[in-house]
Amino acid sequence: MEAKDRLIVALDLDSAPEAEKLIEVLSPEADIFKVGIAPFTGYGEKILGKLREKGKKVFLDLKFHDIPNTVRNAARIAAKHGVFMMNFHCLGGKSMLEAARKGAEEGSASSGHAQPLLLGVTILTSMTEADLQVLGLAGGIEEKVIELAALAKNCGLNGVVASAKETRLIKSNLGKGFLVVTPGVRPTWAAAGDQKRVLTPKQAVAEGADYIVVGRPIIHADDPAEAARKIVEEITS
């Protein structure tokens, strides 16, 4: 996989015009864009249309977590949009994850779009072991990440969203073909912000990450295109 193909740019912007402008600026530098909860709530249909128009791939980052039937319906509709990948909280359990897979298969079959990559969300990169204890989840972060990743694989998902710091462990336990998409990636020249478990793009790929998600270091840069180029160059190096 080429370095450029590993980069996912998070469109965490307040308005559709801002997002559309950024897509135009970044179009030569990036092919995959993440549409998360906030932008999708604000202007989801419009931005999905813009990305389709530009021939870009969409990571629909809505982290579905509900009863199985509701998630199945949501996955089916998302697959009809032709998204490249989407995700589901592993803590929703086995029945929910299996329903998600079935819904995505149904949506792809009825629309003619390729089957999207389905990802489980393990433990958010903003969380620490103290946060897990507050939730009553026994064991350390790495233990929980592996348990949840194994659940996702057993339910037919293609991979997980997880911290780059757990990537090597996931690959060694679940196989190199099991995808890992890593948020919380920060180049050395960017602030960590509210992310706790972070690595640089180069470190993340070296650990085995298949895709890296980068938001603020690119979208808030004075020159977003140059920031994206620097990150791709760092991965390549």
Q: Which positions are catalytic?
A: 63
- Cα–Cα distance, 2 to 166 (Å, whole number): 22
- Cα–Cα distance, 114 to 111 (Å, whole number): 9
- Cα–Cα distance, 33 to 58 (Å, whole number): 5
Angstrom CA distances, 47 to 11, 42, 60, 186, stand at 9, 10, 11, 25
Coil vs helix vs strand at 64: strand
- Cα–Cα distance, 72 to 13 (Å, whole number): 28
The conformation of residue 116, written as its DSSP 8-state character, comes to: P
Q: Which two tokens stand for residue 144?
A: 């929980």
The conformation of residue 233, written as its DSSP 8-state character, comes to: H
